[in-house]
Amino acid sequence: MAESLWSASYPPVPAVLDELRAAWPPPAASRPEGTPGYVDVDLAEHEPVAALSLTGSLAVALAADGDAFLVVPLTRDSAADGAWRRAAPGDRLSAFVAGAPLASERPVGVDQTHASVVVGERVIVKWFRRVGPKPSRATLLIGHLDAIGYQGIPKPLGTVDWRSPAGETLTLAQGDAYLPSARDGWEWCVEAAEQSTASTIGGDLGRFVADLHAALATPSSLVGEPLATATPADVAGWRGRALATLEDALDLTDGEDGEVLRALEPAMRTILQAMPVDQSVPIQPVHGDLHVGQILSWPGGLAVIDFDGNPTLGDEANDIRQPVERDVAQLLMSLDHVGRIVVKDRGGDPDGAVEAWIATQRRHILAEVGPQDPALLAAFEVEQECRELVYAARFLPRWRYAPIATLRARFGS
């Protein structure tokens, strides 16, 4: 089992690519009917452009997706003449790249944008579903935090890389130390909300995020000048993208939820229009998709994962440097969503206990994360809920109820 940083780069193999093109797309691994999860990408609509052969029966295909690439881990039962199929935990692909080909594999049992596999209960290998056209922000930020000795992330162990036709080194898989007994925030935060007590969870999260932002703002060999300033024109660009995201959410949200969203639109639009486009704004490296599911609780404390950015956005909107209000807005909205999950499970909140819990934790977070621009924070919160609706429409339809409930509570009156 790998204990130190490793990196593997496998050359393209034309023969494997020819095999894939002759029988594309490879069938997906079967899963029980009704299993929740993401909307699968139709690979038939994406041409394979490269294939990396790890062994005779393990490979990775890259399929064109605009100017980026879909990552398709593959396996086959016979190295001689077996047909390629999409790999699943238990097929030994992740164990092979982790340097422990005989170790056990199991999936991470929560919804994720990417696919993560626990290997031997010691390493977690995350396969990125889509990479490029530029190198991964996650690889850069994890390396940056590791270089300054930040302890709030799982120890990075290595990557599987591929050099794209444009000459960019793209990370296909990231390996990190597995944290035993770790629970993500959709578990431990929901548990706290179910008790509806005035716990210190918001304060704990706020202090953790303040420390994370301080670490991200510290120069390293990878990010020598982390601090910068966004111009008024940049802020105007953020406002334009936020308004466009609102339009996307309106277009993609149908039925009764769509009617609710259209009723709330004027209030949401007013907040987005109030974004301070006449001033410069401090920016720095940020997480970029900081919902509670990215924060693990384990016997060693808290740890943050998945620095890939928001999966519904392009490269420009996932810039490394952004206002810290972006992360804070995402955290606040996700903790609000925790409460909506509990209300849904209970069938309601007749005594208002969950609503009070949400408000209390919000105050605790804001008391710890440091000064915030209130207009910028409010706008990013509205934009985040629009992003959540776009995300639900494109990846996880069953999630839509949470942002709709949050928006109703915020703007329904």
Same domain for 276 and 336, yes or no, is yes
- 80-130: pLDDT as tens digits: 667 899 999 999 999 999 988 889 999 986 656 678 899 999 999 999 998
How far from each other are the two terminal CA atoms of the chain, in whole angstroms?
56
Same domain for 28 and 116, yes or no, is yes
Nearest C-alpha neighbor of 407 from the set 374, 383, 390, 373? 383
pTM, two decimals, is 0.87
Task: Count Cβ atoms within 10 A of the Cβ of residue 250 and give its class: 0-12 exposed, 13-18 middle, 19 or more buried.
Answer: middle
Whether 279 maps to a domain, the answer reads yes
Return the beta strands (E) in 90-245 as ranges: 105-107, 115-119, 123-127, 130-131, 156-163, 169-177, 183-184, 228-230
- 231-257: pLDDT as tens digits: 999 999 999 999 999 999 999 999 999
Same domain for 62 and 197, yes or no, is no
DSSP β-bridge partners for residue 61: 51, 72
Same domain for 389 and 364, yes or no, is yes
- 129-184: pLDDT as tens digits: 989 888 889 999 999 999 999 999 999 998 999 999 999 999 999 999 999 999 98
Same domain for 68 and 193, yes or no, is no
Structure tokens at 371: 């000064």
* CATH number of the domain residue 264 falls in: 3.90.1200.10
Same domain for 172 and 188, yes or no, is no
H or E stretch covering 71: strand 68-75
Same domain for 127 and 222, yes or no, is no
Q: Structurally, how many domains does the chain consist of?
A: 2
Same domain for 159 and 230, yes or no, is no
**For 28-37, 83-92, 190-199, 370-379, which range has the lowest pLDDT when averaged over its residues?**
28-37
DSSP state of 201: H
**For 212-216, 278-282, 312-316, which range has the lowest pLDDT when averaged over its residues?**
312-316
Whether 36 maps to a domain, the answer reads yes
Final residue of a domain: which of 157, 177, 197? 177
Same domain for 225 and 365, yes or no, is yes
Question: Looking at residue 413, what is its pLDDT?
Answer: 61
Domain that holds residue 243: 183-411
Same domain for 126 and 193, yes or no, is no
Final residue of a domain: which of 126, 155, 177? 177
**pLDDT tier at 395, thresholds 50, 70, 90:** confident
Whether 256 maps to a domain, the answer reads yes
Question: Looking at residue 1, what is its pLDDT?
Answer: 34
Nearest C-alpha neighbor of 244 from the set 269, 213, 280, 222? 269
Alpha carbon of 64 to those of 11, 45, 48, 115, 132: distances in Å?
18, 9, 6, 19, 10
**For 24-38, 84-98, 270-284, which range has the lowest pLDDT when averaged over its residues?**
24-38
Tokens 């509806």 map to which residue? 196
Same domain for 136 and 249, yes or no, is no
Same domain for 146 and 226, yes or no, is no
Whether 303 maps to a domain, the answer reads yes
Backbone angles phi, psi at 161, to 5 degrees: -115, 155
Final residue of a domain: which of 129, 153, 177? 177
Whether 1 maps to a domain, the answer reads no
Task: Count Cβ atoms within 10 A of the Cβ of residue 324 and give its class: 0-12 exposed, 13-18 middle, 19 or more buried.
Answer: buried
The span from the CA of 289 to the CA of 307, in Å, is: 7
Mean model confidence pLDDT for the chain: 90
